Amino acid sequence: MTRMDTSAHAVPIRSALVVDDHPLYCDALASMMETVFNMRRVRKAASLGDALQLLRSRFSPDLVMLDLNLPDVSGLSGFMKIKDRAPDVPVVVISAFTSDEVVQSVILAGAAGFIPKDAARETLREAMMDIWDGKTYVPAGFKAPAKESEADPTIGDISRKIAGLSQQQARILSLICKGKPNKLIAYEMQLAEATVKAHITALLRRLKVQNRTQAALLVREVSIRHHLQ
């Protein structure tokens, strides 16, 4: 367990939103939050869209537990959208992708902590206690990667650009990163090829790159390519 003390006050946690598209894991995590921390209000969402819908309702959680790898999310864009919607709510990222680069990107983006999906129940409990105490939790053994050049776009910069894409554009970007040509993207998304091309033009402009290859490389450079769906 690693603790990074970034706050002098404890974070009260009485309710939580668990966002994960794996039903068994989502149910288990929600159940643990209810039993270990005696929470009476734990809501669940299987997608970013469902989570945002809950946040638009009267439900205002004290904590969000967010899986990075959701069906309607590209990289850190889901995290950014959650933070935009609920800027004062601590967001804890849960992921099976645990490289130092991924952990670093999440923490720099403002996460309250990063918990590996294969963490033992006791580790998860200890991590949540740290977060409850106002600390930022990172996995044991985490080593911050070398600092990026100030001339290079930061992970946060690029993630914010991706977060600004529409849902269809984000989905197309993920398929581009998988090497799918426009025709197959159109078939998979049940869109006209001309519509796909229009979306690609818009997302390239948003990312400030010249072509789809540069878009895929941009995503890869910030270590979030493997989170794309």
Please spell the DSSP secondary structure of the chain, one letter per residue: -EEE---SS----SEEEEE-S-HHHHHHHHHHHHHHS--SEEEEESSHHHHHHHHHTT---SEEEEES--TT--TTHHHHHHHHHSTTS-EEEEES---HHHHHHHHHTT-SEEEETT--HHHHHHHHHHHHTTPEEE-TT--PPPPPPTTSPPHHHHHHHHHTS-HHHHHHHHHHHTT--HHHHHHHHT--HHHHHHHHHHHHHHHT-SSHHHHHHHHHHTT-GGG--
CA distances from 180 to 73, 159, 176, 183, 202 (A): 18, 22, 5, 8, 18
Q: Do residue 115 and residue 186 come from a single domain?
A: no
- CA-CA-CA-CA torsion sign (120, 124, 125, 129): positive
pLDDT digits (tens, 9 = 90+) for 57-70: 888 898 999 998 88
**Weakest mean pLDDT among 18-22, 104-108, 154-158, 219-223:** 219-223
Given 121, 138, 155, the domain boundary residue is: 138
Between residues 6 and 79, the one the model is more confident about? 79
**Weakest mean pLDDT among 144-148, 172-176, 202-206:** 144-148
Band of residue 55 on the pLDDT scale cut at 50, 70, 90: very high
**143 located within any domain:** no
Q: Do residue 174 and residue 81 come from a single domain?
A: no
**147 located within any domain:** no
Q: Do residue 13 and residue 65 come from a single domain?
A: yes
Q: Looking at the predicted structure, is the pLDDT value of residue 152 above 70?
A: no
Single pTM value for the model? 0.62
Rounded Cα gap, residues 195 and 41, in angstroms: 42
Q: Looking at the predicted structure, is the pLDDT value of residue 207 above 70?
A: yes
- Given a contact cutoff of 8 angstroms between Cβ atoms, the answer to whether 74 and 173 are in contact is yes
Taking residues 79-101, what's their average pLDDT?
87
**30 located within any domain:** yes
- CA-CA-CA-CA torsion sign (115, 103, 111, 69): negative
Q: Looking at the predicted structure, is the pLDDT value of residue 227 above 80?
A: no
Given 138, 154, 173, the domain boundary residue is: 138
Between residues 221 and 102, the one the model is more confident about? 102
Q: Do residue 20 and residue 85 come from a single domain?
A: yes
Taking residues 197-206, what's their average pLDDT?
87
Q: Looking at the predicted structure, is the pLDDT value of residue 136 above 90?
A: no
**Domain total of the chain:** 2
Taking residues 119-136, what's their average pLDDT?
84
Q: Looking at the predicted structure, is the pLDDT value of residue 93 above 90?
A: yes
Which residue segment(s) compose the domain that 200 sits in? 165-227
Between residues 6 and 108, the one the model is more confident about? 108
Q: Looking at the predicted structure, is the pLDDT value of residue 154 above 80?
A: no
Tell me the percentage of the chain whose pLDDT exceeds 90: 20
Average pLDDT, the chain: 80
Q: Please give the torsion angle defined by the CA atoms of residues 23, 29, 30 and 35, in that order, rounded to the nearest 10 degrees.
A: 140
